[in-house]
Amino acid sequence: MVQFSQLRRFDTSFAAISDATRRGVLEQLGRADASISELAQRFDMTLTGMKKHVGVLEQAGLVTTQKVGRVRTCRLGVGGLREEAAWIERYRQMWAARFEDLDKIVEQLKQKESSDGRSTTE
C-alpha cells in the first residue's frame, strides 16, 4: 500500500516534471551540475525565469542549490527522489503509450469477432 505521504511527495514531483523546461533542466543536471545562469543560457531564458523553474524543482526535492560567492550551483536532489519519480513517470508513459495502441487492436479484434460471429450464424 502506498502511503499518503508518498503520494503527496509524488504529486509534487509530478507537478515539477510536468513542464518541458524543467524536465530538460533535470536531464541537464543529470549530466553535470550547472549554475542558474548557465541553465538560463542553455534554455534561452531570462535568469528570473530559470530561477522560478529551479525553485519549483527545489521545492519538489528534485534539485538542490548552493550559493558560493555570486554563483548559485544546481545539482540533482539527494536520496534518489529524482530518479524514482522521473523513472516511474516515464515507466507510466511507456505503458500508457503502448496501451493506447493496444486499445486500437482490441477495437479491431472486437469488430472482427462480431463480423465473424454474424457470418457463421447466418
Partner 1 sequence: MDAVRPSEQTPQPVTTTDRHSEREVVVTRTFDGPARIIFAAWTTPELLMKWWAPASFGIRFLSCEADVRPGGTYRFVFAHPQSGEPMAFVGRYLEVEPPSRLVWTNEESEEGSVTTVTFEERDGKTHLVLRDLYPSKESLDEAMASGSIGGYPEQFNQLDILLKGAPDVGSARV
Q: Which residues bind partner 1 (CB under 8 A)?
A: 1-2, 4, 7, 10-11, 14-15, 17-20, 23-24, 27, 30, 80, 83-84, 86-107, 109-110, 113
Minimum distance, C-beta of residue 115 to partner 1, in the bound complex (Å):
14
Strand order across the 71-76 sheet: 34-35, 71-76, 63-68
Rounded Cα–Cα distance for residues 78 and 11 (Å) = 18
Q: How far is CA 122 from CA 19, 29, 79, in A?
A: 55, 65, 65
Nearer to partner 1, 44 or 68 (CB): 44
Cell triple for residue 85? 519519480
Nearer to partner 1, 49 or 95 (CB): 95
Q: Give the number of other CB atoms < 10 A from CB of residue 90.
A: 12
Cell triple for residue 11? 504529486
Nearer to partner 1, 3 or 69 (CB): 3
Determine phi and psi for 45, rounding to 5 degrees: -130, 165
Minimum distance, C-beta of residue 12 to partner 1, in the bound complex (Å):
11
Minimum distance, C-beta of residue 2 to partner 1, in the bound complex (Å):
5
Nearer to partner 1, 68 or 96 (CB): 96
